[in-house]
Amino acid sequence: MTAFADLDSNTLLMLTSIAAALIVLGFLIMVVKRYKRCPSNKILVIYGKVSRGQSARCLHGGGAFVWPLIQDYAFLTLDPMQIEIPLRGALSAENIRVNVPSVFTVAVGTEATVMQTAAIRLLGLDQRQVMKQAEDIILGQLRQVIASMTIEDINRNRDKFLDSVQNSLTPELEKIGLVLINVNITDITDESGYIEAMGRKAASEAIQSAEIDVAQQQKRGSIGVAEAKREQDVMVANAEKTREIGTKEAEREKLVKLAELAKETGIGQSLAQLEQQSAVKEQERQMRVRVADAEAAAVTGENLARAKVVDADATLKVRQAEAYQLAETRKREAEAKVREMQYLAEAKAADAMATKIESEQRAELEAAAKAQKARLIVDAEAEAEQVRLRANAEAAATFARLEAEARGQFEILAKKAEGLQRIVEGCGGAQQAFQLLMLEHLPQLAETAAKAIANVKFDKVVVWDGGAGKDGKHATASFLQGLAGSLPPMLQMMKDIGGVEMPPFLGKLAGETATEPAVAAAASAPTKTPPKS
pLDDT tens-digit profile of 265-299?
776 665 666 677 777 777 777 777 777 677 777 77
> pLDDT at residue 513 above 50?
no
Mean pLDDT of 209-222: 79
CB 79 within 8 A of CB 130: no
- Please check whether residues 321 and 173 belong to one and the same domain: no
Q: In this predicted structure, what is the pLDDT of residue 498? A: 55
**Boundary (domain end) residue, out of 370, 400, 422:** 422
Q: In this predicted structure, what is the pLDDT of residue 177? A: 92
264 vs 507, higher pLDDT? 264
- Please check whether residues 279 and 341 belong to one and the same domain: yes
Q: Is residue 342 part of a domain?
A: yes
- Please check whether residues 184 and 134 belong to one and the same domain: yes
> pLDDT at residue 8 above 60?
yes
Mean pLDDT of 411-423: 83
Mean pLDDT of 137-157: 87
User: What is the distance between the alpha carbons of residues 80 and 288, in angstroms, rounded to a whole number?
Assistant: 95
- Please check whether residues 350 and 478 belong to one and the same domain: no
Please give the residue range of the domain that contains residue 65: 31-77
> pLDDT at residue 199 above 50?
yes
- Please check whether residues 60 and 178 belong to one and the same domain: no
User: What is the distance between the alpha carbons of residues 178 and 149, in angstroms, rounded to a whole number?
Assistant: 26
- Please check whether residues 322 and 409 belong to one and the same domain: yes
User: What is the distance between the alpha carbons of residues 261 and 256, in angstroms, rounded to a whole number?
Assistant: 9
Least confident stretch, 46-60, 303-317, 462-476, 501-515: 501-515
CB 99 within 8 A of CB 152: no
- The whole-model pTM stands at 0.36
> pLDDT at residue 382 above 90?
no
The total of structural domains in the chain comes to: 4
Three-state DSSP class for residue 391: helix
- Please check whether residues 105 and 135 belong to one and the same domain: yes
111 vs 273, higher pLDDT? 111
Q: Which stretch, 18-32, 122-136, 193-207, has highest mean pLDDT?
A: 122-136
Q: In this predicted structure, what is the pLDDT of residue 2? A: 46
Q: In this predicted structure, what is the pLDDT of residue 529? A: 42
User: What is the distance between the alpha carbons of residues 385 and 321, in angstroms, rounded to a whole number?
Assistant: 10
176 vs 15, higher pLDDT? 176
Mean pLDDT of 214-240: 83
Mean pLDDT of 39-66: 84
CB 199 within 8 A of CB 109: no
How many CB atoms are closer than 10 A to CB 68? 11
Q: In this predicted structure, what is the pLDDT of residue 477? A: 66
